[in-house]
């Protein structure tokens, strides 16, 4: 599950004032809202939260959720309820690249556990943590639907399949060299088989 | 054996593009249906085909369609369930990624049959890149006039949208999917009312799996009766099987229903046998939710007949000695696999994915996971086996949605068929993990 | 429509649920309900305590329904036959549900303000097992003040969703809800929000356990030492029909009046609940009718020993261990 936050959130009214999505994002949000019948704009919430997360360094702050609520004309709690239900939404800050290693069923049978341990050792962090330079966050996730090419991990929109330690090295080194943020919404995904 | 209806052109370069797809007979069913058939004729053909839901439940698709309420002045919706999340299942991703237009074609014909003018494909968030592939294909289809207003000059109009989820197995359950599509938590609804009466935004709705919808195109092209000739008995047509685990050739295979399980596992045309010359220990034949069967019972029924890849044959023997075709997520385990550890992994999954609405699933899945973890720590007692059995029996059939059953069946079947493994750990107070990768499933990683 | 429950036939209108039909017959056949609330729409179906066995689906379809159904969300069909307390299967299944509800419950009844009027205590006492088989750490949360009037004690919550539905249906702006999922799901407000609304206090009355309690009554008195009377005042927001919980001349607490199923008769406003704490604010109508089985009526100062024995039995039924004897 995403970051566990018990009870209530700290809200910063000053930060909230500064929140504004890019023109491109706002245009995309309007396009998404037009897919539903009149009065059913709440349906856009999950796609909009994906955009919001990409606009906000990969996580959903209370201020961003409040902003999203205003965009869709719903109560902030409705956003919080949804954001905390789905594992792809991060409620705490994350690194530029969130590494999500599948830990279920066939990936597990074929060494996901060892891949996780290897990445932990390589990056010097535990599952759920972020490297001190803010480059990587390591998460474990449930079945990614890539069991025939297990073990597998996802970074942003990209799937990396048939993982070995060497492949992990290569992939992570490449991400580090590029140094840019990876989002689910990226159009330039680079799957490796 | 070996006819392919969905993946016939899987290896044609550029088949994800409209022109190539069209050159290989794509969108013929749309022409046929919209120009020469009434919507009810399409429903009739699907009924005749005997097509059953490919998402897991195996409910007859034509029958499901015929339940759709048609009140005056109320829109109806078709929603494609592309939330493929059942562990061991990856066929829908493969189909959408390779041949996206096959789903769009099926969506147009099915939407026409059901009278839906706005349809949605709800795809799991992890498949974000697949949603891009679909969106590109939809764009192509709009530009070529296969979608939008007055398709092929007829009265029929259809808008098709892709909606992404955000990481929740439960959204594969159709009412949870609808909730999620409405922008809510993926909490399954209490039924009745069923979606056919009150689904998306309270309107009559049909939710069908990707493969089910894609199969509608060949059914219309060849005719329902022809389609029904493939397969055995009530298991008609072809089925995509996602094969994974300890086999030589994991991947997605389109099989004619009726293929012997033994042939599927050992033939070079399919799984190509067990890796590294190991022996087969167990199979989960239809995605993580279905009962696990030991080698002897997956190859032959309790009566000694060869087990076939059909809904009926796999279920032969019921829960005592059978399993289910489910979503076709075929997970193979070799002799070194620890059933107990694998079960813990599955149970952890269901615990993690429980929505938390109803108490048996919310509380029971976590409890089972904790007890199973005691086995991995070597601290479990013999009485824990009975306790596990009792807990699963108190979850099964007592929950709002089938996730409770899905969490209970793996536990029940593992204890039923592999009890000695649990007992050995409980008696010796030692758990030896026999499935470490050091055992060279993947030598490159050593 | 004729429906038979535990061998007793009753004629009910179309659209009646099995649970409502059972309540029409009476307590001897009515299933317990922890999440269903007849005064709130779309409640029910979650806790599974009200499950029953349908042995005959209808006159047309004499087959049984294979799985037990939630009686609160299943409508009767003509000729339906239902087993509740006469089915061993139902009794066993319900015992399972009670155990599930209790495995993460803190069993802190001795210091819980709800003790004595807690539906989970009653449920455990009437339908549960004598001991728990759960040996792991229970879920723990910190307590939260939702404003200065309501306390949220999430450890005790059984996620019945009543308070959420109440705020959806009774107040104009819902600020609290259920966040996270599975057994990590919890009731929460968004950003330390106060549930600030004229009718928000009703969440206290609909909460079946001690998860939402009245801060103005907190630790003032055990409920069974207070004397409930029905009282009234002219209120422009609500009916003004309430129940006062008195100790001598002091009004310790104001709640809505409850019916025989423990449900609120009329929802009351926050002014009546939290601000009118003088006896002179009210016209007393007379002593409240309290269920004979309730600990509140069992004892009004007179039978203290009986009460102690009953409370001990109850604690034993819940698997409660005194703090000093806990491992």
Q: Counting beta carbons within 10 angstroms of the beta carbon of residue C80, is it exposed (0 to 12), middle (13 to 18) or buried (19 or more)?
A: buried
Instruction: Measure in Å the smallest separation between the Cα of C72 and chain A Cα atoms.
Output: 26
Residue of chain A whose alpha carbon sits nearest to that of B129: A157
With an 8 Å Cβ cutoff, are B360 and C178 in contact?
A: no
CA B211 to chain centre: 9
Cα distance between residue B29 and residue B155, in whole Å: 17
Q: Which residues does residue C228 pair with via DSSP β-bridges, in sequence order?
A: C245
Cα distance between residue C49 and residue C46, in whole Å: 9
With an 8 Å Cβ cutoff, are A1 and B352 in contact?
A: yes
State phi, psi for B223 to the nearest 5 degrees. Answer: 95, 140
Which of C154, C173, C180 has the CB atom closest to A1's CB atom? C180
SS3 call for B425: helix
Which pair of structure tokens corresponds to residue B104? 């769009």
Cα distance between residue B228 and residue B231, in whole Å: 7
Residue of chain A whose alpha carbon sits nearest to that of C189: A8
Peptide bond preceding A102 in cis form (omega within 30 of 0): no
Cα distance between residue B212 and residue B294, in whole Å: 29
Which pair of structure tokens corresponds to residue B386? 């009975």
SS3 call for B435: coil
Q: Assess whether pLDDT exceeds 70 at residue A103.
A: yes
Q: Report ipTM (2 d.p.).
A: 0.96
Mean pLDDT of the region B291-298: 98
Question: In this structure, is residue C322 part of a structural domain?
Answer: no
Both C203 and C251 in a single domain? Answer: no
CATH number at residue C188: 3.30.70.20
Both C125 and C48 in a single domain? Answer: no
The DSSP string of B27-75 is THHHHHHHHH--HHHHHHHHHHHT-B-TTTT--BHHHHHHT----TT--
pLDDT for C324 equals 44
Both C264 and C199 in a single domain? Answer: no
Cα distance between residue C57 and residue C63, in whole Å: 6
Non-local (6+) Cβ contacts of C260 within 8 A are C27, C291
Chain B residues with CB-CB distance to A43 below 8 A: 163, 181-183
Q: Name the domain boundary from C100, C122, C156.
A: C100
CATH number at residue C6: 3.10.20.740
Both C12 and C85 in a single domain? Answer: yes
Which pair of structure tokens corresponds to residue B172? 């594969």
Count residue pairs from B and C with Cβ separation < 8 A: 89
Which pair of structure tokens corresponds to residue A183? 């989002």
Q: Name the domain boundary from C169, C193, C214.
A: C214
- How long a stretch of residues is chain C? 327
CA A83 to chain centre: 11
Cα distance between residue B13 and residue B8, in whole Å: 13
Question: In this structure, is residue C177 part of a structural domain?
Answer: yes
pLDDT for C311 equals 54
Cα distance between residue B376 and residue B432, in whole Å: 8
Instruction: Measure in Å the smallest separation between the Cα of A161 and chain B Cα atoms.
Output: 12
pLDDT for C322 equals 44
Q: Which residues does residue C187 pair with via DSSP β-bridges, in sequence order?
A: C178
Mean pLDDT of the region B203-230: 98
Chain C residues with CB-CB distance to B370 below 8 A: 136
pLDDT for C293 equals 58
Compute CA distances A157 → A97, B127, B132, whole Å: 11, 8, 10
Instruction: Measure in Å the smallest separation between the Cα of A17 and chain B Cα atoms.
Output: 25
Report pLDDT digits (tens) over B64-116: 999 999 999 999 999 999 999 999 999 999 999 999 999 999 999 999 999 99
SS3 call for C243: strand
Question: In this structure, is residue C319 part of a structural domain?
Answer: no
Q: Map C75-143 to HEC letters.
A: ECCCCEEEECCCCHHHHHHHHHHHHHHHHCCCCCHHHCCCCCCCHHHHHHHHHCCCCCCCCCCCCCCCC
- φ/ψ bin of A167: left (φ > 0), alpha (ψ from -120 to 50), beta (otherwise): alpha
Instruction: Measure in Å the smallest separation between the Cα of B82 and chain C Cα atoms.
Output: 22
**Who has greater pLDDT, C170 or B253?**
B253
Instruction: Measure in Å the smallest separation between the Cα of B89 and chain A Cα atoms.
Output: 6
Round to the nearest angstrom and report the end-to-end CA distance of chain C. 55
Which pair of structure tokens corresponds to residue A119? 């990445």
Cα distance between residue C112 and residue C188, in whole Å: 20
Both C155 and C111 in a single domain? Answer: yes
pLDDT band at B444 (very low <50, low <70, confident <90, very high): very low
Count CB-CB contacts under 10 A for residue B275: 19
SS3 call for C32: coil
Q: Which residue is associated with the tokens 């409040």? A: A66
Question: In this structure, is residue C312 part of a structural domain?
Answer: no
With an 8 Å Cβ cutoff, are B126 and A191 in contact?
A: no
SS3 call for C296: helix
Both C53 and C26 in a single domain? Answer: yes
In contact, B86 and B287? CB cutoff 8 Å: yes
In 3D, which of C122, C128, C116, C180 has the Cα closest to residue C154?
C180
Count CB-CB contacts under 10 A for residue B336: 18
pLDDT for A2 equals 33
Report pLDDT digits (tens) over B31-50: 999 999 999 999 999 999 99
Question: In this structure, is residue C169 part of a structural domain?
Answer: yes
Q: Assess whether pLDDT exceeds 90 at residue B199.
A: yes
Question: In this structure, is residue C80 part of a structural domain?
Answer: yes
Dihedral sign from CA coordinates of C276, C278, C284, C288: positive
Binding partners of A (≥3 Cβ pairs within 8 A): B, C
Compute CA distances C213 → C101, C144, C171, whole Å: 19, 11, 18
Chain B residues with CB-CB distance to C57 below 8 A: none
In contact, B351 and C183? CB cutoff 8 Å: yes
Cα distance between residue B398 and residue C97, in whole Å: 9
Peptide bond preceding A151 in cis form (omega within 30 of 0): yes
Non-local (6+) Cβ contacts of B127 within 8 A are A145, B82, B84, B93, B96, B164
Q: Counting beta carbons within 10 angstroms of the beta carbon of residue C7, is it exposed (0 to 12), middle (13 to 18) or buried (19 or more)?
A: exposed
Question: In this structure, is residue C12 part of a structural domain?
Answer: yes
Cα distance between residue B320 and residue C69, in whole Å: 24
State phi, psi for A49 to the nearest 5 degrees. Answer: -65, -35
Q: Any idea what DSSP says for residue A134?
A: S
* C73 close contact with B: CB closer than 8 A: yes
Report pLDDT digits (tens) over B259-290: 999 999 999 999 999 999 999 999 999 999 99
Residues 152-191, chain C: which have Cβ within 8 Å of A?
Answer: 152, 154, 173-182, 184, 186, 188-191
pLDDT band at A12 (very low <50, low <70, confident <90, very high): confident
Compute CA distances B170 → B84, B179, B353, C184, whole Å: 10, 11, 6, 15
Which of B85, B435, B436 has the CB atom closest to A145's CB atom? B85
Cα distance between residue A107 and residue B76, in whole Å: 39
Both C227 and C207 in a single domain? Answer: no
Which of A8, A65, A75 has the CB atom closest to C188's CB atom? A8
Cα distance between residue B423 and residue B427, in whole Å: 6
Peptide bond preceding B192 in cis form (omega within 30 of 0): yes
- Provide block-wise average pLDDT over 10 residues at a time, chain C (327 residues): 97 96 96 96 96 97 96 97 97 96 93 91 89 91 87 94 93 88 90 74 96 88 88 94 93 94 94 95 88 54 50 56 44
- What is this structure's pTM? 0.93
Both C296 and C281 in a single domain? Answer: yes
In 3D, which of B363, B376, B358, B356 has the Cα closest to residue B430?
B376
Residue of chain B whose alpha carbon sits nearest to that of A89: B166
Q: Assess whether pLDDT exceeds 50 at residue B436.
A: no
State phi, psi for B288 to the nearest 5 degrees. Answer: -55, -20
Both C95 and C159 in a single domain? Answer: no
Share of residues in chain A with pLDDT > 90 (%): 92
Residues 65-94, chain A: which have Cβ within 8 Å of C?
Answer: 65-66, 75-81, 84-85
The DSSP string of B138-181 is HHHHHHTTSSBSSGGGSS--BEEEEEE--S-GGGGSHHHHHHHH
Cα distance between residue C52 and residue C61, in whole Å: 18
Both C150 and C227 in a single domain? Answer: no
In 3D, which of C47, C247, A2 has the Cα closest to residue B166?
A2
The domain in which residue C126 lies consists of 104-130+138-214
Question: In this structure, is residue C210 part of a structural domain?
Answer: yes
Which of C142, C181, C192 has the CB atom closest to A85's CB atom? C181
Q: What is the mean pLDDT of chain A?
A: 94
Count CB-CB contacts under 10 A for residue C61: 12
State phi, psi for B349 to the nearest 5 degrees. Answer: -60, -50
Cα distance between residue A161 and residue A179, in whole Å: 21
pLDDT for A4 equals 45
With an 8 Å Cβ cutoff, are B358 and C99 in contact?
A: no
pLDDT for B135 equals 98
Q: What is the mean pLDDT of chain B?
A: 95
Residue of chain B whose alpha carbon sits nearest to that of C50: B398
Cα distance between residue B381 and residue B370, in whole Å: 13
Number of domains in chain C: 3
Which helix H or strand E contains C4, and what residues bound it? strand C2-5
Report pLDDT digits (tens) over C70-125: 999 999 999 999 999 999 999 999 999 999 999 999 999 998 989 989 999 999 99
Which of C142, C173, C177 has the CB atom closest to A6's CB atom? C142
* A25 close contact with B: CB closer than 8 A: no
Instruction: Measure in Å the smallest separation between the Cα of A9 and chain C Cα atoms.
Output: 4
Instruction: Measure in Å the smallest separation between the Cα of C98 and chain A Cα atoms.
Output: 26
pLDDT for A6 equals 56
Q: Assess whether pLDDT exceeds 80 at residue B413.
A: yes
pLDDT for C225 equals 86
Both C273 and C182 in a single domain? Answer: no
Chain C residues with CB-CB distance to A78 below 8 A: 174, 177
Q: Which residue is associated with the tokens 């999203």? A: A68
Both C87 and C117 in a single domain? Answer: no
Cα distance between residue B77 and residue B127, in whole Å: 23
Cα distance between residue C229 and residue C242, in whole Å: 9
pLDDT for A73 equals 96
């Amino acid at each position: 599950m995403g970051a566990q936050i018990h009870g209530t959130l700290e809200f910063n009214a000053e930060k909230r004032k500064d929140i504004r999505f890019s023109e491109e994002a706002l245009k995309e949000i309007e396009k998404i809202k037009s897919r539903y019948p009149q009065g059913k704009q709440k349906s856009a919430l999950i796609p909009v939260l994906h955009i919001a997360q990409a606009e906000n360094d990969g996580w959903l702050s209370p201020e961003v959720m409040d902003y999203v609520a205003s965009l869709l004309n719903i109560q902030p709690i409705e956003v919080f309820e949804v954001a905390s239900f789905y594992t792809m939404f991060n409620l705490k800050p994350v690194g530029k690249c969130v590494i999500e290693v599948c830990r279920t069923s066939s990936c597990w049978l074929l060494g996901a556990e060892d891949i996780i341990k290897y990445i932990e050792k390589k990056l010097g962090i535990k599952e759920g943590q972020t490297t001190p330079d803010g480059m990587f966050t390591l998460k474990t996730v449930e079945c990614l639907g890539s069991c025939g090419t297990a073990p597998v991990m996802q970074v942003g929109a990209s799937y990396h399949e048939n993982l070995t330690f060497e492949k992990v090295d290569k992939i992570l080194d490449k991400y580090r060299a590029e140094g840019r943020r990876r989002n689910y919404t990226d159009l330039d995904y680079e799957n490796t088989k | 054996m070996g006819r392919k209806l969905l993946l016939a052109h899987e290896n044609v370069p550029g088949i994800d593009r409209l022109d190539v797809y069209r050159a290989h007979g794509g969108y013929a069913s749309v022409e046929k249906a919209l120009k020469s058939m009434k919507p009810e004729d399409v429903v009739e053909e699907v009924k005749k085909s005997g097509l059953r839901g490919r998402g897991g439940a195996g409910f007859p698709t034509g029958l499901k369609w015929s339940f759709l309420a048609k009140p005056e002045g109320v829109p109806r919706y078709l929603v494609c369930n592309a939330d493929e999340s059942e562990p061991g299942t990856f066929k829908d991703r493969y189909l959408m990624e390779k041949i996206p237009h096959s789903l769009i074609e099926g969506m147009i014909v099915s939407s026409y049959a059901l009278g839906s003018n706005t349809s949605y494909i709800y795809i799991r968030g992890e498949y974000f890149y697949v949603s891009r592939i679909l969106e590109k294909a939809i764009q192509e289809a709009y530009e070529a006039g296969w979608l939008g207003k007055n398709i092929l000059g007829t009265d029929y109009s259809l808008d098709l949208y892709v909606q992404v989820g955000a990481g929740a197995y439960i959204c594969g359950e159709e009412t949870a999917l609808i909730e999620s599509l409405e922008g809510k938590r993926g909490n399954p609804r209490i039924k009745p009312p069923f979606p056919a009466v009150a689904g998306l935004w309270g309107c009559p709705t049909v939710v069908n799996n990707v493969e089910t919808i894609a199969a509608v195109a060949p059914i219309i092209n060849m005719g329902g009766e022809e389609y029904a000739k493939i397969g055995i008995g009530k298991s008609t047509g072809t089925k995509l099987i996602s094969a994974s685990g300890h086999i030589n050739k994991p991947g997605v295979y389109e099989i004619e229903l009726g293929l012997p399980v033994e042939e599927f596992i050992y033939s070079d045309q399919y799984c190509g046998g067990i890796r590294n010359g190991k022996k087969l220990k167990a199979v989960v034949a239809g995605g993580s939710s279905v009962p696990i069967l030991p080698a002897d019972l997956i190859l032959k029924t309790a009566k000694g007949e060869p087990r076939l890849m059909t809904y009926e044959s796999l279920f032969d023997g019921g829960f005592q000695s059978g399993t289910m075709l489910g979503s076709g997520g075929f997970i193979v385990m070799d002799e070194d696999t620890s059933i107990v550890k694998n079960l813990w992994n599955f149970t952890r999954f269901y615990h993690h994915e429980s929505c938390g609405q109803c108490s048996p699933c919310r509380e029971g899945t976590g409890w089972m996971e904790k007890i199973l973890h005691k086995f991995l720590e070597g601290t479990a007692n013999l009485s824990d086996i009975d306790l596990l059995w009792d807990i699963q029996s108190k979850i099964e059939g007592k929950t709002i949605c089938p996730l409770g059953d899905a969490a209970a069946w793996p536990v029940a079947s593992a204890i039923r068929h592999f009890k000695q493994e649990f007992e050995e750990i409980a008696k010796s107070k030692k758990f030896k993990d026999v499935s470490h990768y050091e055992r060279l499933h993947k030598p490159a990683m050593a | 429509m004729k429906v038979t429950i535990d061998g007793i036939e009753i004629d009910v209108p179309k659209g009646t649920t099995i649970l409502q039909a059972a309540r029409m017959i009476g307590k001897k056949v009515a299933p317990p309900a922890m999440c269903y609330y007849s005064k709130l729409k779309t409640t029910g179906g979650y806790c599974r305590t009200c499950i029953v066995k349908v042995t005959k689906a209808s006159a047309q379809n004499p087959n049984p329904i294979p799985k037990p159904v939630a009686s609160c969300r299943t409508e009767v069909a003509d000729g339906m036959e239902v087993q509740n307390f006469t089915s061993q299967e139902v009794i066993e299944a319900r015992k399972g549900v009670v155990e599930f509800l209790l495995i993460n419950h803190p069993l802190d009844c001795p210091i819980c303000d709800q003790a004595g009027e807690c539906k989970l205590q009653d449920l455990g006492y009437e339908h549960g097992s004598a001991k728990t088989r759960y040996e792991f750490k229970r879920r723990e949360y910190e307590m939260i003040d939702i404003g200065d009037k309501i306390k949220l004690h999430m450890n005790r919550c059984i996620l019945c969703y009543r308070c959420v539905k109440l705020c959806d249906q009774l107040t104009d702006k819902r600020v609290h809800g259920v966040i996270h999922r599975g057994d990590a799901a919890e009731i929460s407000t968004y950003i330390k929000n106060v549930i600030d609304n004229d009718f928000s206090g009703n969440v206290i009355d609909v909460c079946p356990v001690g998860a939402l309690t009245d801060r103005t009554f907190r630790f003032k008195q055990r409920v069974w030492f207070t004397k409930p009377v029905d009282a009234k005042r002219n209120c422009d927001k609500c009916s003004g029909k309430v129940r006062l919980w008195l100790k001598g001349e002091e009004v310790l607490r104001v709640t809505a009046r409850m019916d025989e199923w423990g449900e609120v008769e009329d929802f009351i406003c926050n002014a009546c609940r939290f601000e009118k704490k003088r006896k002179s604010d009210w016209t007393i109508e007379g002593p409240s009718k309290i269920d004979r089985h309730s600990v509140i009526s069992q004892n009004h100062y007179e039978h203290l020993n009986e009460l102690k024995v009953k409370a001990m039995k109850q604690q034993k039924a819940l698997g409660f261990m005194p703090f000093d004897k806990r491992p």
